[in-house]
Structure 1
Amino acid sequence: MATDNNNNKKRKNHYRPHNKSVKKGLYPLRPGVEGFFITCDGGRERQASQEAVQLIESFLEELVEGKEPDAKPTIKPMNKKIKFSYSSSDSETDDDENGEKEQDKSESQPKDEQEDVKTEEENQPEKKQKCAETTVSINEVVKPKSVDQLIEAELDELKDKTKRRFNYLDTGCNGVVFVQMKKRGEKDPTPKEIAQRIITSAAATKRHMSRFILRVLPIELTCYASEEEISRAIKPLIAQYFPIEPQTPYKFAVLCEARANSGLDRMKIINVVAKSVPEPHKVDLTNPDRTIVVQIAKTVCCIGAVDKYKELAKYNLRQLTSSD
């Protein structure tokens, strides 16, 4: 009996993916998310995901600032004179001078005016209290946070994975990274806009942006990798990029790649996607205006639409920034 228990323990220890210990806190790719499907050098998935997040965040800030710059509310200063008493002697001299001036004014003014002035002075303490309350509230609003408090707030946000805008998701495939993007508002840029900005700027500047990233493909929907699920989930994406009554019909192509999934027929998936596009638009494999990207990783299908796929070196950053 003791030998059987020992054998069972040994067998349990052998069942590990890729003969490696499972990393804690790594979430798998699942249906219902959107983001970026990124290919990279094999074995450099962690470094590529970190580079991808930094790259995407920088271009996201550019897009947000270009479209809607952050207008911080400014508080107008109060047009009031403020006197500071630096010593007791100064305050005494000021009080004496003010007292003499008030006596001169009271002697020159008639009795009726003097009574009006007294009534105003009686009501002044209430006004002073109101002014003091307003100045205190304004000081509370204007008071900025210290650098340590800002750093602690950012660290708390980074630790809490639910508040992160971008998260790494494990695809289970070698050389593939998926970066999930969470939208915080309706006016946030889409993954397609961010990816297109990255690729076009790389093509224009020829500036190296990463060491390990190869292709950056925007993904706007994910579903289970089956013909029925793909035909059902792709309808809103087709309606968005391929309207039924367009001003100018688009020429399109379908790109389908599968990893760690040999049970699906690639041509059947391509036919399902192509048939979902309405008739005014035509298939053109040589020079398409838009390309529907279908990337299958194990049992999850990632779908997106890109413009000028072949002209921009298939969205490959390394080819766009290479000197050749």
Structure 2
Amino acid sequence: KPVKKGGYPLRPGVEGFFITCEGGRERQASNEAIDVIESFYEELVEASDSDPKLEAERKTLNKVTKFQYSSDDDDSDGDCEIGSDEQSKKKSNLQVQGAEVKNGDDIERPAKKQCVVSEYKSVDEKIDAELAELGDKSKRRFTKLDSGCNGVIFIRMSKKEGDPEPKDIVQHMFTSLASTRKHVSRFLLRVLPIEVTCYTSEEEIKRAMKPLIDKYFPPVVGEEAAEQKAPCKFAVLYDARANTGIERTKIIDAVAKSVPGVHKVDLANPDLHIVVQIVKTVCLIGVVERYKELGKYNIRQLTSP
């Protein structure tokens, strides 16, 4: 029976990260993407203190590790003291009990060696078990889905209560990279946050856009409301892969017309970009800020000298 390659397929109803990479490097890029996203996720959580459970797990791991090593140190110190006492006894009773002390040394050495070996084995097992447990939790939070396209990967995020949004993680990532210019990946190119996914039809896209419209483009009514919530300028960032049955202009118009009329299209200097990526029969939608300023969300472009 043939074994299916790749992971679960990309489908509507998920959120996460749309990522481009070098063709033929999808597997390596997927593993690297999970590591990179996880590291920036942890930075963001630590900075905002929004996930005390994760911090408690980290403290517990450090505490256990420190305790075990400190116990080993204490045990070794105790062994040294016992050895010193035995040496002093040897000196005081050298003429009377020399043979008995020698036999005692022969008995204690195997016991000491056996005790040390069993203790180190126990420590290694505990550390390996805890690291494996933390690794499993990381994989559950971020998992790869098979896009079915060359040079494209998708990392799904399974959010829990209090977790930051994919947009917040990507925004933090590129803001940090813009200031440090640090190389964090070998295979990743563009990383875009995806908040909703649906099938590639105009009606489905309009329906999927509703929560994003309420979140980023609220309708402004009246002059007083307009002063409180200034209308924003936006542009649609569209691309399609492995799908020739849809028209570019129809999808862009469907997205743009979903935004209330008070918010205007501005291709030159938009405040927000609406990301629309078509991958086969799935449409991925998200919203990003400072798109051009942050190197078009391309890691290699942003960190290159």
The one-letter code sitting in structure 2 at the alignment partner of 1:148 is E
Greater C-alpha radius of gyration: 1
Partner of 2:231: 249
Partner of 1:240: 215
* Deviation for aligned residue 1:221: 0.6
Aligned residues: 232
Pairing 1:67-146 to 2, within 5 Å after superposition: 67-68=48-49, 70=52, 72=56
Pairing 1:1-324 to 2, within 5 Å after superposition: 22-23=4-5, 26-68=7-49, 70=52, 72=56, 148-155=125-132, 158=135, 164-185=140-161, 187-245=162-220, 247-323=229-305
The one-letter code sitting in structure 1 at the alignment partner of 2:143 is N
* Deviation for aligned residue 1:309: 1.0
Structure 1 CA distance for aligned equivalents of residues 284 and 128 of structure 2: 36
Question: 1:291, 1:306 within 8 Å by CA — same for their partners in 2?
Answer: yes
User: TM-score, normalised to structure 2's length?
Assistant: 0.71
How has the CA–CA distance of structure 1 residues 156 and 23 changed in structure 2, closer, same or farther, with 3 Å as cutoff? farther
* Deviation for aligned residue 1:148: 2.5
Mean Cα displacement is larger for which, 145-154 or 228-237?
Answer: 145-154
Partner of 1:111: none
Question: 1:259, 1:298 within 8 Å by CA — same for their partners in 2?
Answer: yes
Query: What CA deviation, in whole Å up to 9, does each residue of 1:210-261 have, x standing for no partner?
Result: 1110000000011111111001111111110111126111100011110000
Structure 2 CA distance for aligned equivalents of residues 198 and 159 of structure 1: 23
Partner of 2:64: none
The one-letter code sitting in structure 2 at the alignment partner of 1:304 is G
Partner of 2:116: none
Greater percentage in helix: 2
Structure 1 CA distance for aligned equivalents of residues 262 and 5 of structure 2: 49
Structure 1 CA distance for aligned equivalents of residues 22 and 215 of structure 2: 33
* Deviation for aligned residue 1:153: 4.8
Query: What CA deviation, in whole Å up to 9, does each residue of 1:170-214 have, x standing for no partner?
Result: 0000000100001121x2110000001111111111111111100
Percent identity of equivalent pairs? 60
Q: SS where residue 194 of structure 1 aligns?
A: helix
The one-letter code sitting in structure 1 at the alignment partner of 2:158 is K
* Deviation for aligned residue 1:150: 4.9
How has the CA–CA distance of structure 1 residues 147 and 276 changed in structure 2, closer, same or farther, with 3 Å as cutoff? farther
Consecutive unaligned residues of structure 2, counting only runs of 5 or more, are 60-121, 221-225
Structure 2 CA distance for aligned equivalents of residues 68 and 22 of structure 1: 41
Q: SS where residue 262 of structure 1 aligns?
A: coil
How has the CA–CA distance of structure 1 residues 184 and 148 changed in structure 2, closer, same or farther, with 3 Å as cutoff? farther
Q: Structure 1: which 4+ aligned runs deviate by more than 3 Å? A: 69-74, 156-161
Consecutive unaligned residues of structure 1, counting only runs of 5 or more, are 1-12, 75-144
The one-letter code sitting in structure 1 at the alignment partner of 2:295 is A
* Deviation for aligned residue 1:152: 2.2
Mean Cα displacement is larger for which, 248-257 or 152-161?
Answer: 152-161
Q: SS where residue 140 of structure 2 aligns?
A: coil
Question: 1:157, 1:164 within 8 Å by CA — same for their partners in 2?
Answer: no
User: TM-score, normalised to structure 1's length?
Assistant: 0.67
Task: Output the aligned Cα RMSD.
Answer: 2.5
